[in-house]
Amino acid sequence: MVESNRVLVVDDEPRQLEILRTILKREGYEVDAATTTEGAVTQLRDAPASVILTDLKLPGRDGIDLLEEAARLAPESCVIIMTAHGTIDTAVEAMKKGAFDYLTKPLVRDTVVLAVRRAMEKTRLLSENSDLKKQLVDRFSLANVIGDHGKMQEVFRMVMKVAPSASTVVIYGESGTGKELIARAIHYNSPRASRPFHAINCAAIPEPLLESELFGHEKGSFTGAIARKIGLFEQASGSTLLLDEVGDLGLALQGKLLRALQEKEIRRVGSTASIPVDVRILAATNKNLTRLMQEGRFREDLYYRLNVLTIFLPPLRERTTDIPRLVDHFIARHAALAGKALRGIDRQALSVLMAFSWPGNVRQLESAIERAVLLAEGPAVALADLPQEIHEDGADGDVALEIPDTGMSFEALEKALLQQALRKGGNVSRAARLLGMTRRTFQYRAEKFRLSRAAQGDPQLLSEWSGADSEEPPAPPAPDGAPRAPDRERVKV
């Protein structure tokens, strides 16, 4: 970063140089001086300046040469050119070559001070901006995505393989496994990294609104469209757009999305004009798209168009060896936010965390830690600081859930786990605890499978549902062993 307070003044007239030095020092700047372009370049190599105030006419290489050197040596600095009357054309040329401002001689004190102040401000904003960008890039660089487990290492290798291209990538994973984090890592490792990353949750927005969110609309195209709206495809042109929960997209919009992907152009709602867009699409889903496609709820052509490259994020319970590092990472993050000095976690608490099944994956682990950090009274996070459902899970002693083998769709897996928990726990509260969820969440999820009466504790239904020959047995694995796509579909870069 450029030092914020340094001005380099370049003039071959010693008297002029001295006057400028005095004026600027009085304004509180650190001032360096040079009488030639060569001298200025040497100084810039030693210590970058935020503002360079240079005479246009210098012996040997002139102010324009210095402007070019400064663009290379100190790209964030602003150059102000001083010219004599009658050399305005050259001043214009200097502006075209990127000078920030020019001043005509004889110089007026206030004009000089004002120009330098404005240039300083500009440099400060520029460097703040590039710091922010760097922070963003760092935050989403793979270095901050934790995963020593082989399955995560495989994910990271895929991220680095797919990042450079503009191809569509589908990221599969249960809720909370880090799909959005991985999408951002792809973007920030791609040639589009300097543009902002865009994301939209397709499950959270009703279809008509979603269409105008994605493609925009013209004023008056429907009741309430009081102004033109530029949609995400246009905003994200040149950048990346994550379509989160893409499995929830309705069939009509799926058709429009396919068209946008194939034609690389969109139409705003209420307009017939096609607008070219260059968007890299990433899609995330916790649903099994193969299954949705077989059920006719996801267009086959869109499925194949999206599924060019795929990344599968493992659930946390399949990589429990990553839990200690994740815990440290989240303790450090949340202790810093809360302004607490915590020395990690004690052994007992950590072993409970490692034994837990984490149905909500990394997101659930992070919120458990966030809460524990706030509650912790000792020097380290202890068992008592963990949410009840997690440490009571240990108290359920011998009751442990068996995780059905993979190859099941996420929905089937979820249902199988709910059933198993209910069977082993014997009642809703205990079942919920076994899964590390609240009673309400358990009921909500069970309801999803039209099992509300069982979830409310109807004993007859309870046994019916939790029995082996239930009316709705856990769905068998999809014929192709979905959601994992066959290898040939996986990477083609």
Would you tell me which residues interact with ligand ATP (CB under 6 A)?
Answer: 145-147, 173, 175-181, 286, 329, 362-363, 366
210 binds, among Mg ion, ligand ATP, none (CB under 5 to 8 A by kind): none
Nearest residue to the partner Mg ion, using Cβ: 180
231 binds, among Mg ion, ligand ATP, none (CB under 5 to 8 A by kind): none
145 binds, among Mg ion, ligand ATP, none (CB under 5 to 8 A by kind): ligand ATP
63 binds, among ligand ATP, Mg ion, none (CB under 5 to 8 A by kind): none
Q: Of 83 and 361, which CB lies nearer to Mg ion in the complex structure?
A: 361
175 binds, among ligand ATP, Mg ion, none (CB under 5 to 8 A by kind): ligand ATP
Smallest gap from Cβ 314 to ligand ATP, in A, equals 10
314 binds, among ligand ATP, Mg ion, none (CB under 5 to 8 A by kind): none
Structural tokens at position 312: 């599968």
Smallest gap from Cβ 156 to Mg ion, in A, equals 18
173 binds, among Mg ion, ligand ATP, none (CB under 5 to 8 A by kind): ligand ATP
Q: Using alpha carbons only, what angle is made at residue 269 by residues 263 and 274, rounded to the nearest 5 degrees?
A: 35
311 binds, among ligand ATP, Mg ion, none (CB under 5 to 8 A by kind): none
Q: Of 49 and 369, which CB lies nearer to ligand ATP in the complex structure?
A: 369
| Residues 158-197 as x/- pattern, contact with Mg ion by CB under 5 A | ----------------------x-----------------
Smallest gap from Cβ 254 to ligand ATP, in A, equals 20
Q: Of 20 and 182, which CB lies nearer to Mg ion in the complex structure?
A: 182
Q: Round to whole Å and give the CA distance between 419 and 446.
A: 9
Q: Of 180 and 211, which CB lies nearer to Mg ion in the complex structure?
A: 180
Q: Of 365 and 434, which CB lies nearer to ligand ATP in the complex structure?
A: 365
286 binds, among Mg ion, ligand ATP, none (CB under 5 to 8 A by kind): ligand ATP
11 contacts Mg ion (rule: CB under 5 A): no
Q: Round to whole Å and give the CA distance between 190 and 172.
A: 20
Smallest gap from Cβ 284 to Mg ion, in A, equals 6
Q: Of 20 and 316, which CB lies nearer to ligand ATP in the complex structure?
A: 316
Smallest gap from Cβ 25 to ligand ATP, in A, equals 48
Q: Of 62 and 366, which CB lies nearer to ligand ATP in the complex structure?
A: 366
Q: Of 184 and 430, which CB lies nearer to Mg ion in the complex structure?
A: 184
Three state DSSP letters for the chain? CCCCCEEEEECCCHHHHHHHHHHHHHCCCEEEEECCHHHHHHHHHHCCCCEEEEECCCCCCCHHHHHHHHHHHCCCCEEEEEEECCCHHHHHHHHHCCCCEEEEECCCHHHHHHHHHHHHHHHHHHHHHHHHHHHHHHHCCHHHCCCCCHHHHHHHHHHHHHCCCCCCEEEECCCCCCHHHHHHHHHHCCCCCCCCCEEEECCCCCHHHHHHHHHCECCCCCCCCCCCECCHHHHCCCCEEEEECHHHCCHHHHHHHHHHHHHCEEECECCCCEEECCCEEEEEECCCHHHHHHCCCCCHHHHHHHCCEEEECCCHHHCHHHHHHHHHHHHHHHHHHHCCCCCCECHHHHHHHHHCCCCCHHHHHHHHHHHHHHHCCCCCECHHHCCHHHHHHHHCCCCCCCCCCCCCCHHHHHHHHHHHHHHHHCCHHHHHHHCCCCHHHHHHHHHHCCCHHHHCCCHHHHHHHHCCCCCCCCCCCCCCCCCCCCHHHCCCC
Nearest residue to the partner ligand ATP, using Cβ: 178
Smallest gap from Cβ 251 to ligand ATP, in A, equals 22
| Phi, psi dihedrals of residue 147, rounded to the nearest 5° | 175, 95
Q: Of 29 and 188, which CB lies nearer to Mg ion in the complex structure?
A: 188
Smallest gap from Cβ 412 to ligand ATP, in A, equals 18
176 binds, among ligand ATP, Mg ion, none (CB under 5 to 8 A by kind): ligand ATP
Smallest gap from Cβ 178 to Mg ion, in A, equals 8
Q: Of 181 and 418, which CB lies nearer to ligand ATP in the complex structure?
A: 181
366 binds, among ligand ATP, Mg ion, none (CB under 5 to 8 A by kind): ligand ATP
CB 123 within 8 A of CB 78: yes
Q: Of 313 and 451, which CB lies nearer to Mg ion in the complex structure?
A: 313
Site residues for Mg ion per CB under 5 A? 180
